[in-house]
Amino acid sequence: MPAPIVFYDIPRKANVPSDNAWSPNTWKTRYSLNIKGLPYRTVWVEYPDIEALYKKLGVESADKGPTGAPIYTLPLIYDPNTKVHVSDSAAIARYLDKTYPDTPTLIPRETDALHAAFQRAFAAVFNPGNGGFSWLMMPETYVRLNPASQGYFRRTREEWFGTTLEELAPRGSQKRQKHWEAVKAAFHEVAGWLQAGGQERLFFLGGETICYADIVNAAFVGWIRNTFGEDSAEWRDVLSWDEGRWGKLAEAFRKYESVDEGSPLEL
């Protein structure tokens, strides 16, 4: 058994550890680790500390913002077995596939390039540029973050979107309804891919095999359920979309949703 991998994740307000995990991007890595059954422990990092963490670890950011300046994002892992840091959930999935070949493969090598295209397509569909998932997500995320993260989150996101968080998708507004319809349309388009060639697939590669594309998908579905709750109007709406396939996907991923207590980052 390898030594536990260190998994840096962003917390939110929570009464129990399992409620701490919320970010769809870091969920991609948590799913990856849980599906592979690799031991890991979570270190919870508040937004303003992410950059300091990278610098302390001496890790370069793989992400660049529109100005060309580096952006410091999670997930990030440290694998003590190889003494390697890896950021970006797709890169982490590939790293884990390569380093732990006896665990379930997430990105089969022959689908590597198609997976890269999938990521581009998924981004294009969920954030078509004039509204959609992110618009809805930002204000919902803000209110659930710990105070230590809220100021940073507000400042950076308001700069990106050029408006206040409160203006993005106010509850009960037509604007919010429009973003929600865009999310529904996005999922519907993904459902179309899953039915390509007349097959009814729950998972991208067909059959029972979960691949990284499914993880991305499940992370977005899971975000809606975890944010609004299983009894919410939003989640009930999602369950009614595309012949109930998103509820089935969420069920299939439930066994990969364990969240350890972890510990807060000490800089």
Q: For residue 229, how far is the Cα from the chain centroid?
A: 17
Give the pair of three-digit tokens for residue 95: 């790293």
Candidate residues 206, 229, 244, 264; the one interacting with its own copies per rule CB under 8 A: 206
Residue 84 binds its own copies (CB under 8 A) = no
Nearer to its own copies, 152 or 193 (CB): 193
Report the residue from 50, 86, 194, 210 that binds its own copies according to the rule CB under 8 A.
194
Residues 112-141, mask of contacts with its own copies (x by CB under 8 A)? xxxxxxx-xxx-xx---x------------
Q: What is the C-alpha separation between 107 and 6, in angstroms, rounded? A: 21
Nearest CA to 133 among 12, 236, 63, 224? Answer: 224
Rounded Cα distance, 19 and 247, in Å = 20
Q: If binding is defined by CB under 8 A, does position 111 make contact with its own copies?
A: yes
Residues binding its own copies: what is the number (CB under 8 A)? 33
Tokens describing residue 5: 């991998």
Cβ 32 vs Cβ 92: under 8 Å? yes
Cβ closest to its own copies, residue 15 vs residue 199? 199
Min dist. Cβ of residue 252 to its own copies (A): 15
Q: Is 251 in the site for its own copies (CB under 8 A)?
A: no
Minimum CB separation from its own copies for residue 48, in Å?
Answer: 31
Residue 73: helix, strand or coil by DSSP? Answer: coil
The set of residues, in sequence order, having a beta carbon less than 8 Å from that of 99 and lying 6+ positions away, is 79, 81, 82
* Rg for the chain, CA atoms, rounded: 18
Interacting residue with its own copies among 94, 154, 179, 245 (CB under 8 A): 94
Catalog residues that contact its own copies under the rule CB under 8 A: 90, 94, 107, 109-118, 120-122, 124-125, 129, 189-190, 192-194, 196-197, 199, 201, 204-207, 213
